[in-house]
Structure 1
Amino acid sequence: MFGTDRLPGLAPGLVVDDESGWTPVTRLIDGEGLPELLAAAAHRWDAQPHAAAALLWKSYSYYATLPVVLGWAAARRVPLLEPADVLVRADADGPLVTIGLRRRARVAVLPSDPLALTGRADVRVVRDDAELLTLLRESLLDRHLNPLIEAIRGQVRLNARTLLGSVSSAVAYGVLRAAGSLPGASVESVGTLLDALGLAELIELVPGPSGEPTVQRKTCCLAFTLPKPKLCAGCCVRPS
């Protein structure tokens, strides 16, 4: 969709064969691997712990949701981001975190998908579109992002709404940035996904300078608190 399988923040080809240096998300959720990652974020941005965690989460949630929302929008194929099947690596250069999947990770598909006929163990066939969206929410949000949010909040003081706002904007940005090359990426797709995730109230799509839909957040990633403050596009904080 973007002309390459090498995107900052995602493992090349998305699948990780050599897991050396990678950490399963389960180790972040149980708190064991999280302090080191949060410390790296604080060092990267020279930020207070809560602001560093919010910025780390903004990057993480964007790259974690990207394969899911684009897979759904492009082909109704949803990679199931179960925490035990998702790997994270801290990078000194580029995005702070890179995300990949273990080869055993499964993908959910509709009965009409050619993959549904293969009998492969890594393919889960669902009944219909409604069940596909339900499974998308359960694997991405209920079992992965929400528990990780709670683990982060156990380390630093952050409102869950702030972090869920980044998830909502990540979904919208992921779809809209692919709109030029992906027929299934549309404002309607953003609405369908956010409704399924229960996150529609955290952003608003508004016309941009040329009339194109842009994301207006209703929560803040706290980038304005950095030593060199930054106001992101669509930030809910207004310059004085």
Structure 2
Amino acid sequence: MFGTNTAIPGLAPGLVVRDPAAWRPASDLVADLDLLLNAAGKRWNAQPHAAAAMAWKAYTYWLALPAVLGFASARRVPLLTSTNVLTHFDDPRPLITLGLRADTPVAVLATDPLALSGLSHVRVVPDEDALLAELRRSLLDEHLTPLLNALHTRVRLGKRTLLGSLSSGVAYGVLRSADVLPGPSAETIARLHEALGVEDLIELVPGAAGKLDVQRKTCCLAFTLPTPKVCRGCCIKS
């Protein structure tokens, strides 16, 4: 979908982790938040709240991508609970690398050929609303919300600020793959945003060459880094 056959930094090659020996479940990040925050502090040499905001932005983008693109491209949603997702910090290119356990359940529609496969990890749901509900439950309720709450109590970051990065990450994931996805991107983004409850945190605006771009309503705090950065769709103007 990203126009490359090479590994994408941030996700395990092939997405599925066949040998999890060197990986840790994402649930460890909630139990030991220093795993994520220390890596972010070293990477960006930032104040704790800025490092946490940047870590959350990177983490939520890569985490949501398989479910976002699975729904957008094929109406198949891997259930990204914190126990199904594996992590490591060994690759210096991204902040963190994410992968899925080999037995991670995938939710599909009754009309999907996988629904008749008899595979134990395939979960059949009746319609697209139920599919989006599974996406929200696994990605947000059972994974990101506990992590968000842990971050919120550890550093001075508002939940709206953090959810703004989730909202923009979902939108960017769809827009960057728009050329190979079926249907209008804006409609797909709207459905995903509504399912996750983050529909009021970004706007889609005209971009280059007639394509859509993201305008955020919250800030990821990149402008506070030692080398300040104002993202293209930031609500804070340079």
* TM bucket normalised to smaller: over 0.9
**1:35 maps to which residue?**
34
Aligned to 1:7: 8
After TM superposition, the score normalised by the length of structure 2 is 0.96
Post-superposition offset of 1:5 = 6.0
In the alignment, is the contact (CA less than 8 A) between 2:91 and 2:97 conserved in 1? no
Farther-moved stretch of structure 1 (183-192 vs 140-149): 183-192
Percent of counterpart pairs with the same letter? 59
Contact 2:85/2:99, CA 8 A, preserved across alignment: yes
Secondary structure of the structure 1 residue equivalent to 2:141: helix
Mapping of residues 125-204 of structure 1, within 5 Å: 125-184=124-183, 186-204=185-203
Counterparts of 1:215 and 1:94 in 2: how far apart (Å)? 24
Q: Deviations over 1:68-91 (max 9, x none)?
A: 010001100000001111111113
User: Hey, what's the Cα distance between the residues in 1 that align with 2:184 and 2:14?
Assistant: 21
- Structure 1 residues 1-240: aligned runs within 5 Å: 1-2=1-2, 3-4=4-5, 6-29=7-30, 31-32=31-32, 34-184=33-183, 186-239=185-238
- Tell me how far 1:154 sits from its aligned partner: 2.9
Would the alpha carbon gap of residues 158 and 176 (structure 1) be closer, same or farther in structure 2, given more than 3 Å must change? Answer: same
Q: CA deviation at 1:37?
A: 2.1
Q: Quick one: distance in 2 between partners of 1:79 and 1:36?
A: 25
The runs of 5 or more residues in structure 2 that have no matched partner are none
SS in 2 for 1:238: coil
Judge which range, 83-92 or 70-79, deviates more.
Answer: 83-92
Number of equivalences = 237
| In structure 2, C-alpha distance between the alignment counterparts of 1:172 and 1:225, rounded to whole Å | 24
| Alpha-carbon distance between aligned partners in 1 of 2:156 and 2:220, rounded to the nearest angstrom | 14
Structure 1 spans left out of the alignment, 5+ residues = none
Tell me which moved more, 80-89 or 177-186.
177-186
Please, what TM-score do these two structures have when normalized by structure 1?
A: 0.95
Q: CA deviation at 1:92?
A: 4.9
List 4+ stretches of structure 1 deviating above 4 A. none
Q: Residues 8-53 of structure 1, C-alpha deviation per residue, up to 9 Å, x if partnerless?
A: 1000111112223311111112x22x21321111011010011001
Alpha carbons 2:206, 2:213 under 8 Å: kept: yes
Aligned residue for 1:83, secondary structure, equals coil
What whole-Å deviation, never above 9, does each CA across 1:174-223 have from its counterpart, x for those lacking one?
00000012224611111111111111100000111333110000111100
RMSD (CA atoms): 1.3
Secondary structure (helix, strand or coil) at the match of 1:231 reads coil
